[in-house]
Amino acid sequence: MKKPASVSQLSPLEARAEHARLAEDIAAHDVAYHQKDAPVISDAAYDALRRRYEELEAAFPELVEATASLSRKVGAAPSEKFGKVRHVVPMLSLSNIFEAPEAGEFVERVRRFLGLAVDHPLAFTAEPKIDGLSCSIRYERGELVQAATRGDGYEGEDVTANVRTIREIPHRLKGDAPAVLEVRGEIYMRKQDFAAMNARQEAEGEKIFANPRNAAAGSLRQLDPAITAKRPLHFFAYAWGDMSEAPASTQMGMIEAFQSLGLPTNPQTVLCQTPDDLVAFYRHIEENRSSLDYDIDGVVYKVDDLALRERLGFVSRSPRWAVAHKFPAEQAITTLRGIDIQVGRTGALTPVARLEPVTVGGVVVTNATLHNEDEIARKDVRVGDTVVVQRAGDVIPQIVSVVLDKRPKDAKAYAFAHTCPACGSAAVRELDAKGEADAVRRCTGGLVCPAQAVERLKHFASRNAFDIEGLGDKQIEFFHERGLIRTPADIFTLQARDSDPATLTKIRNFEGFGETSVRNLFAAIEARRRVPLNRFIFALGIRHVGETNARRLARHFETFDALRAVARAAGDEASEARAELRNIEGVGDVVAEAVADFFVEEHNEAVLDALLREVTPEPMEQVKNDSPVAGKTIVFTGALERMTREEAKAMAERLGAKVAGSVSKKTDLVVAGPGAGSKLAKAEGFGVEVITEDQWFERVGAG
């Protein structure tokens, strides 16, 4: 996307034109978001428009005067559908910050305004910023009398009847309530409820909502309160408007007062003394975001002392005493350059979106998953389209939607290949027992497909299978391309063939391989001629046989010969052998069938015979009780460079350790990679031992 000129380079005329254009765009987006509950751009894109608009006004103050500037308004005017409610105390907005140092700047601004010395105590609350819609609920003598949406901040919509249907919101406050109390907070929908509701809506051919926030807004803003009543809405009270007397003198005190009046409040609210405390809480919430059952888009910092807040007051549309520290945008807009089809170990064809690089959630993204054929069709994703990319937590980036307005005229609907791009074999969608087509299209090339073969070899040598050091994905591709390794047995004959005078080029002469690395590789291969049975079975890459099922089979059969004998006899569904497989604890029909299918295949038998001439499966690996980490609780955090999280977990568990997701006093050891954040800080706080990934390998003797 073209970068706009810096505001300072614009002439007053250009600035005025852009300001007017932006005002129109923003107003249209406000209507789409606030009135129709159907935004057309991401929050991040909207924030960017708004920021540019404010930059223009800062550089050209006359623009603020010239128009009824949007920067004085929040949201959009209330829709005509509902009665109007004038807010006695306006419902304003918060200014945003995006970077940690800005938290310090915020605190500094507050101190300066109040004339407080650096060492004068100043407390703040930090609380999650709930991604729902704000609502003001008026209680008179403890009775709920009116509820209103924010609207434009001054006038909102009367949603009293709808709010009354929300179970969590009391019609009558408990205990001693002030004569007048306007409770403000967020109405939201839980993530699970949202998914279930959307599924129901889809089944009934009704409107699908883009996210829990829109679903909450759409559910509340129903003309028929009976519909709202059926929607799973919740509420958190965190602020107030008109109030006859204050039940407390701090934000924390107010939250406690709300709670004792019977109002729901967010338990994740803390009191902080320093900018570091604020940022530590922000990181903590950011890391645990996915485990919350509702969406949040940042953390709100508020001056705790209400008397100080009075002095601080407001500037334009936001209070000086609070700020929203937003999470980095998890969505961004970019162009889809192409769609590549990857062929997996089991022949699954996976479409991968190649994108114009874009920063999402603080990381540059160039690829995103498109899941499968139906997904592409459902979203009608076309090469050349402008797309919304989302990246949340550790999840692979995804394409959320297409910006249809920007579709090039010549963009053609994507035709998913019906042949494998690697071997040209037919690619089909298998039918399940009910006759429904599988979501995944698979290459039928099986053993002739080079892409599947390479993926199978990578799997065979990988850390949780044969674990051959120095034979990673790149090396496998290299040897496969040159015809030096085609089946697993070839790995073990590589050295013998390398010494063969018939081989013209020795491996050590290839680029990237030196004398030492080749010697090390051969030694690593030799060291794996004996391998625990569970790893041997897992390495075969039988469909549905992951590490856990491989262990189950190994435990049951004890030797490979025993497994093979039964599996060979299990081709017939009604056979005793099939029943034996099926009845192994945790195995079941699908796995039993996959195992039988594997051994029925003659080529697999030949590959196995060759492999068994080279390697010997040994008794199953026992969980080690004598390892240096046995019985310990370990947390992995930050970016690991030598193994994936999954591998790390499996490795630690094999060594008898427990792997936990968060650091507590009970944690024995934290393995921290680059970029480790609050977990590392917490470990240091608790005095838990912290080591690097390399030190981990040294400690467990796998360095």
> Minimum distance from CB of 239 to ligand IVH (Å)?
5
CB of 70 to ligand IVH, least distance (A): 15
Beta strands 633-637 and 658-659, pairing class: parallel
How far apart, in whole angstroms, are the C-alpha atoms of residue 284 and residue 293? 16
Each residue 484-503 as x (binds ligand IVH by CB under 6 A) or -, in order, gives --------------------
**221 in contact with ligand IVH (CB under 6 A):** no
- Cβ atoms within 10 Å, residue 203: 8
Long-range contacts formed by 571-579: CB under 8 A, 24+ apart: 571/596, 571/599, 571/600
Alpha carbons 539 and 379: distance in angstroms, whole number: 37
Q: Find out whether 594 and 545 touch, Cβ atoms under 8 Å.
A: yes
Taking the complex as a whole, the smallest distance from the CB of residue 369 to ligand IVH amounts, in Å, to: 31
Block residue for tokens 């013209």:
504
Stretch that binds ligand IVH, among 91-99, 503-511, 535-543, 644-652 (CB under 6 A): 91-99
Q: Is 252 in the site for ligand IVH (CB under 6 A)?
A: no
53 binds ligand IVH (CB under 6 A): no
Q: Could you say whether residue 268 binds ligand IVH (CB under 6 A)?
A: no
Asked if 541 is part of the footprint of ligand IVH (rule: CB under 6 A), the reply reads no
DSSP assigned state of 4: P
Cα 368 to Cα 399: distance, rounded to the nearest angstrom: 7
Contact stretch for ligand IVH (CB under 6 A) within 272-280, 316-324, 491-499, 656-664: 316-324
Stretch that binds ligand IVH, among 122-130, 172-180, 222-230, 533-541 (CB under 6 A): 122-130
Give the interface size with ligand IVH as a residue count (CB under 6 A): 14
74 neighbors 92 (Cβ within 8 angstroms): yes
Distances (CA, A) of 139 to 88, 154, 157, 166: 13, 19, 17, 15
Residue 274 as a binder of ligand IVH (CB under 6 A): the answer is no
CB of 67 to ligand IVH, least distance (A): 23
Cβ closest to ligand IVH, residue 238 vs residue 636: 238
Part of the chain binding ligand IVH (CB under 6 A), chosen from 124-132, 193-201, 526-534, 595-603: 124-132
Q: How would DSSP label each residue in 78-133?
A: PPTTS-EEE-SS------EE-STHHHHHHHHHHHHHHT--TTS---EEEEEEE-SE
- Contact with ligand IVH (CB under 6 A): which of 37, 54, 127, 304? 127
Q: Does 186 bind ligand IVH (CB under 6 A)?
A: yes
Residue 324 CB, nearest approach to ligand IVH (Å): 5
Buried b (16+ CB within 10 A) or exposed e, 428-450: ebeeeeeeeeeebbbbebbeebe
Q: Does 37 help bind ligand IVH (rule: CB under 6 A)?
A: no
* Nearest residue (CB) to ligand IVH, 185 versus 351: 185
Residue 227 interacts with ligand IVH (CB under 6 A): yes or no: no
Give me 657's structure tokens.
């350790």
Annotated catalytic residue within 2, 81, 84, 129: 129
Nearer to ligand IVH, 239 or 655 (CB): 239
Select from 186, 185, 196 the least CA-distant residue to 217.
186
- CB of 17 vs ligand IVH, minimal distance in Å: 29
Among candidates 45, 50, 51, 54, which has minimal Cα distance to 406?
A: 45
Provide the 10 A C-beta neighbour count for residue 631: 11
> What's the CA gap between 374 and 355, in Å, rounded?
20
129 is catalytic: yes
In 3D, which of 61, 52, 58 has the Cα closest to residue 23? 52
> Residue 182, interface with ligand IVH (CB under 6 A)?
no
Our CB check for ligand IVH shows the closer of 106 and 598 to be 106
- The residue range among 15-23, 127-135, 242-250, 581-589 that interacts with ligand IVH, by the rule CB under 6 A, is 127-135
Answer yes or no whether residue 130 interacts with ligand IVH by CB under 6 A. yes
Binding flag, residue 592, ligand IVH (CB under 6 A): no
SS3 annotation, 261-314: CCCCCCCCCEEECCHHHHHHHHHHHHHHHHHCCCCEEEEEEEECEHHHHHHHCE
- Which span (4-12, 195-203, 319-327, 625-633) binds ligand IVH, by CB under 6 A? 319-327
Q: Give the residue, chosen from 41, 110, 300, 422, that forms a contact with ligand IVH under the rule CB under 6 A.
A: 300
Among 216, 239, 494, 581, binds ligand IVH (CB under 6 A): 239
Q: Tokens at residue 493, please?
A: 């004959």
From the list 317-325, 372-380, 578-586, 684-692, the region that binds ligand IVH by CB under 6 A is: 317-325
Query: 219 by DSSP, 3-state: which?
Result: helix
Closest CA relative to residue 596, chosen from 580, 583, 578, 609: 578
* Contact between 234 and ligand IVH per CB under 6 A: no
Nearest to residue 108, comparing CAs of 298, 323, 346?
Answer: 323
The answer to whether 93 contacts ligand IVH (rule: CB under 6 A) is yes
User: x/- binding map, residues 428-467, to ligand IVH, per CB under 6 A?
Assistant: ----------------------------------------
Cα–Cα distance list, 317 to 71, 114, 183, 611 (Å): 7, 20, 20, 72
Residue 284 interacting with ligand IVH (CB under 6 A):
no
Please tell me whether residue 76 binds ligand IVH under the rule CB under 6 A. no
Which residues are known catalytic residues? 129
Q: Which residues in this chain contact ligand IVH in the complex, by CB under 6 A?
A: 92-94, 127, 129-130, 134, 186, 238-239, 300, 319, 322, 324
